[in-house]
Chains A and B, each alone.
Chain A
Amino acid sequence: MTDTSLHRRLPDRLTTRTQRLLRSWEVLLLAVAVAIFTFNALASPYFLNVWNLSDATFNFTEKAMIAFAMALLIIAGEIDLSVAAIVALASTAMGYALQFGVGTPGLVAIGLGTGLACGAFNGFLVTRLGLASIVVTIGTMSLFRGISSIVLGDGAFNGYPASFAVFGQGYVWWVITVELAIFAVLAVVFGVLLHRTNFGRAVYAIGNNPTAALFSGVRVDRVRFILFLLTGLMAGLAAVCLTSRLGSTRPSIAMGMELEVVTMVVLGGVNILGGSGTIPGVVIAAFVMGLVTFGLGLLNVPGIVMSIFVGALLIGVIALPRLIGKLRA
């Protein structure tokens, strides 16, 4: 460091917006998405059909709703593994209410309310009792799915009202499904929340150093609690959409979805250890996962084999930059 006593003006930034963008994870991911899209378009003549593409969005819209909230939670250094169980419990609650003749608005309120309540329970355990979120949510995952399983047994709830079908089967305009529209709106809402508000700044601060954030006057526990609430709410919303799309509630509903959601978030460039990540990254990751699933489906590759690609993608996309960095060093 040179010891100059001359008064210097500190520049705001040294890199331009474009420079930062070009080096970003999102651009790398976008390149992957374009490559997959091109490959799929060449591999199957059915791929570029707009109605097929529209159907393909169901592969990610419900998961992505949860992934947006999960991204914030993971950036803040927490995790919620109980989201799939919340989806199951919320769907079961709706199915149970259905038997008492509750109408569509009531069902939606019950689905969202169940999600909020589950999120509040997780948030209470983590922030009030000071427990580690990964173990707490492994516990509540069993608890929520367990309660759902007590109610459901090995049966199922069917016969949702026709008006309820709009969430998972309706179209807003042309090929744009209601779910896709919800996805798009949520992407903007969460993007603004994380990147353009005081709340979002607090999320980053907590994820990087919760102690220093607390010492800087950030209401750490309140922010964390709200994030668990949001995640629960989004799981409730996903339950409404999924139940509406399937038209039934079965014991296996949303089984294993928590891992797909976390995969989507991590693939989107969110650091699993907290502190960094963006919503645009998660949006692109959602499309990548949707495209891979859809493309392989067109090639008659069974779903379980697609998971090899998703798993390899997850590890590969994270390993590559690190390996390149190591080789350079």
Chain B
Amino acid sequence: MTFLRSREAVLTGALLVLLALIATRFPGFIAPANLAAVFNDTAPLIILALGQMVVILTRCIDLSVAANLALCGMVAALLNVAFPGLPVVVIVAAVTALGAALGAVNGLLVWKVGIPPIVVTLGTLTIFRGVIFLISDGAWVNAHQMTDPFKALPRSALLGLPVMSWCAIAVIVGTAVLVWRTALGRSFYAVGGNPHAAVYTGIDVGRTQFTAFVLSGALAGLTGYLWVARYAVAYVDIAAGFELDVIAACVIGGIGIAGGIGSVGGAVLGALFLGVIKNALPVVDISPFWQMAISGAAIITAVILNSRTRRAKGRLILRQTEGHA
């Protein structure tokens, strides 16, 4: 019963209705192979949405994820060009670490200097983009400059699914275990839900927020490689504005922007919802220019629905039985 009334259930229902509607126009869309392709296409959004969820849970926001992604992607591409012999795994590890370090910069400014997260990440967002230009000299890194193993990894199939999809699955499972079954994961909720009380239970609010930023940064770094390798191109403006898609996925997934509320399932479903819309528009013959307006309407609807379910609850002083007495 509680599940049926949960945000996840509503979202699952909405997603199924959406798929059913698309199927009436184009049955091929819900073929397993196509759904797998949609999932694969949505993988970067899912990964980043999970990182963002953790940050939002702690009452922060990370606007710099897309810029972080782009910077790490560019570094991955440049590393590959400069050292073609370097194993791809090393590059992945390096840019994930770089992403974590960039996240740590955000986290430190929030934790140690006490600047509001939205200001910090607004600043680092522009700085990261600028740095990409500096290190790349504004030039593109194109497919022919990248080595084949570098480009192949995200697409190579493992048990029928591309590595990119497996990355998303691994991040989903990892984040789920983290937030449900570890002390750190629960402290994300505690810090966002009631920072004052968190201090009394011995949780360091700033350090927890810092950890959230590092995690979000690391996931952005990983996605940076996946993105650049999959599209086989790196330039200053890749994933420009993608941070808003990520936040939109979280909002649709019922992650409360005020912190402390949200689930892994919600974030994943929110991302999938946007992913399905994006992939479905061309096949049902709607101009892709509609995509943005539709996702905007979806965000607003989700926000309204979330606020309705959360309100309703109030203390009832009048006992209903007394009215009949």
Shortest CB distance B68–A (Å) = 13
Inter-subunit contact B258/A311 (CB<8 Å): no
The answer to whether A311 touches B295 (Cβ under 8 A) is no
B114 at the interface (CB under 8 A from A): yes
CA of A315 to CA of B124, assembled, Å: 8
Range for the number of chain B residues in contact with chain A = 35 or more
Report B61 CB to chain A, min CB distance, Å: 8
- CB pair B134 A305 closer than 8 Å: yes
Select one of B132, B236, B300 contacting A143, CB under 8 A.
Answer: B300
Those of A117-147 within 8 Å (CB) of chain B: 125, 129-132, 134-136, 138-147
A94 to B194 CA separation, bound complex (whole angstroms): 48
Which of the residues A143, A262, A318 comes within 8 Å of B296, measured between beta carbons? A143
A259: B residues at CB distance < 8 A: 63, 122, 125-126
Whether B296 contacts A315 by the Cβ 8 Å rule is no
Q: Cβ of B248 and Cβ of A146 under 8 Å apart? A: no
Query: With A and B bound together, what is the CA distance between A307 and B237 in angstroms?
Result: 13
Give B266 Cβ to nearest chain A Cβ, in Å: 14
Q: Is A322 an interface residue (CB 8 A)?
A: yes
A264 to B233, CA, bound (A): 33
Q: Is B284 an interface residue (CB 8 A)?
A: no
Total count of chain A residues near the partner, CB < 8 A = 47
Q: Mark B60-97, 1 if CB is under 8 A from A, else 0.
A: 01010000000000000000000000000000000000
A147 nearest CB across to chain B (Å): 5
For residue A266, CB closer than 8 A to chain B, the reply is yes
Closest 10 CB pairs of A and B: A146-B293, A142-B296, A143-B296, A308-B130, A146-B292, A139-B299, A311-B126, A311-B127, A307-B126, A315-B123
Distance to closest chain A CB from B172 (angstroms): 23
With contacts A142-B244, A149-B292, A259-B122 known, is A273 near B116, CB below 8 A? yes
Of residues 241 through 269 on chain A, the ones whose CB sits less than 8 Å from some CB of chain B are 255-256, 259, 262-263, 266
- Taking CB atoms, residues of chain B closer than 8 Å to A141 are 244, 296
13 sampled A-B residue pairs with Cβ under 8 A: A130-B311, A145-B296, A146-B289, A150-B293, A255-B241, A256-B240, A263-B126, A272-B119, A302-B133, A304-B130, A305-B130, A307-B127, A315-B119
Residue picked from B63, B236, B304, most chain A C-beta under 10 Å? B304
A255 to B292, CA, bound (A): 14
Residues on A with beta carbons closer than 8 Å to the beta carbon of B114: 322
Q: How far is the CB of A253 from chain B (nearest CB, A)?
A: 14
B143 at the interface (CB under 8 A from A): no
A306 in contact (CB, < 8 A): yes
* B18 interface residue (CB < 8 Å to A): no
- The answer to whether B292 and A142 touch across the interface, beta carbons within 8 angstroms, is yes
CB atoms of A314 and B299 under 8 A apart: no
CB-based contact A139/B300 at 8 Å = yes
Q: Which residues of the other chain, B, contact A147 by a CB distance below 8 angstroms?
A: 293
Number of A-B contacts (CB under 8 A): 143
- Tell me the complex Cα distance, A306–B134, Å: 11
- Cβ-defined partner of A315 (8 Å) among B120, B257, B290: B120
- The complex places the Cα of A218 from the Cα of B44 at a distance, in Å, of 46
Q: Are A136 and B303 in contact (CB under 8 A)?
A: yes
Sample of 9 further A-B pairs with CB below 8 A, known A138-B248, A150-B290: A125-B303, A142-B293, A146-B289, A146-B292, A149-B292, A153-B287, A273-B116, A311-B124, A323-B113
Whether B152 is near chain A, meaning CB under 8 Å from some CB there, is no
Q: Shortest distance in angstroms between A120's beta carbon and chain B's nearest beta carbon?
A: 15
B257 pairs with A149, CB closer than 8 A = no
| Per-position binary interface string of chain B over residues 275-310, scored 1 when its CB falls under 8 Å from any chain A CB and 0 otherwise | 000000000000101111111110110011001000
Q: Are B292 and A139 in contact (CB under 8 A)?
A: no
| B296 and A311 contact, CB distance less than 8 A | no
A189 within 8 A of B: no
Question: Are A304 and B307 neighbours in the complex by a CB distance under 8 Å?
Answer: no
